[in-house]
């Protein structure tokens, strides 16, 4: 929500209406985007991203004043080599609000569809003991996470599954995949909302005990504490 005009905002007043940076290969040519551009929030994250490896466009918003920006990456064919140009453009409030509504609608629809498709996986975690069924269920959830769906609804059942499975064969693959899911959840966290989710997951893991998995879980818990500390300090 906009709380002040962008011209009075600590972040936005250092951003022109349109600014860009250009790379030839992986080498920056010219000036980078202003530092304030790195502090803008991506709307619809993590489904939408400003990572050029994943996305060519997204909507961003200033966390201070609520001003919206279009972030776009274009591929360039230049005489001295192929390159990329990242363009950041300030949007009019009405345009930004409409785009934000459109993004949130896409996120909601995508997550709703994923949750519906996840019913089999959740049923398997809750009721099945067959290693093959559990492997397919955890593979589905991991795949959803890698496609940037919100999989936190599955966390309680993932923890319950860990409680009842040994890390030894025939469940070693299932256990390893669940641990990988928690590892990636922590590593993908980027903002305060993610931090709140990671704190809840950490607390659930600690409350569950999970003594037979403690050695494998400890690095994940340590990373969660480190992340929470850095986000709180930032």
* Separation of alpha carbons 137 and 54, rounded Å: 25
At a CB cut-off of 8 Å and minimum separation 6, what does 93 contact?
Answer: 2, 67, 68
Per-residue model confidence (pLDDT) at position 1: 42
Average pLDDT over residues 70-81: 85
Average pLDDT over residues 186-207: 87
First to last CA, the chain: 21
Where are any strands of DSSP class E within 12-171?
Answer: 18-24, 27-29, 41-42, 57-61, 68-78, 81-90
* Separation of alpha carbons 121 and 124, rounded Å: 5
Q: What digits encode the pLDDT tens for the residues 80-99? A: 778 899 999 999 999 999 99
pTM: 0.69
The answer, yes or no, to whether residue 10 has pLDDT greater than 80, is yes
Average pLDDT, the chain: 91
The answer, yes or no, to whether residue 102 has pLDDT greater than 90, is yes
At a CB cut-off of 8 Å and minimum separation 6, what does 30 contact?
Answer: 21, 22
The answer, yes or no, to whether residue 141 has pLDDT greater than 80, is yes
| pLDDT tier for residue 144 given thresholds of 50, 70 and 90 | very high
């Amino acid at each position: 929500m906009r709380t002040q005009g962008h011209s009075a905002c600590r972040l936005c007043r250092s951003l022109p209406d349109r600014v860009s940076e250009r790379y030839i290969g992986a080498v920056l040519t010219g000036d980078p985007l202003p530092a304030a551009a790195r502090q803008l929030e991506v709307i619809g994250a993590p489904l939408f991203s400003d990572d050029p490896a994943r996305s060519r466009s997204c909507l961003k918003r200033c966390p201070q004043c609520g001003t919206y920006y279009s972030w776009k990456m274009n591929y360039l064919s230049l005489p001295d080599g192929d390159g990329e140009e990242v363009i950041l453009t300030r949007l009019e409030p009405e345009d930004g609000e409409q785009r934000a509504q459109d993004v949130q609608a896409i996120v909601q629809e995508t997550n709703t569809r994923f949750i519906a498709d996840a019913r089999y996986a959740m049923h398997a975690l809750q009721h099945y003991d067959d290693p093959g069924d559990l492997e397919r269920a955890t593979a589905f959830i991991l795949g959803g996470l890698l496609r940037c769906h919100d999989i936190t609804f599955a966390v309680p059942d993932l923890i319950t599954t860990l409680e009842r499975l040994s890390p030894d064969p025939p469940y070693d693959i299932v256990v390893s995949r669940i641990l990988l899911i928690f590892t990636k959840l922590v590593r993908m966290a980027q903002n305060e909302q993610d931090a709140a989710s990671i704190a809840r997951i950490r607390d659930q893991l600690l409350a569950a005990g999970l003594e037979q998995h403690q050695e494998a879980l400890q690095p994940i818990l340590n990373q969660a504490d480190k992340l929470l500390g850095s986000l709180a300090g930032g």
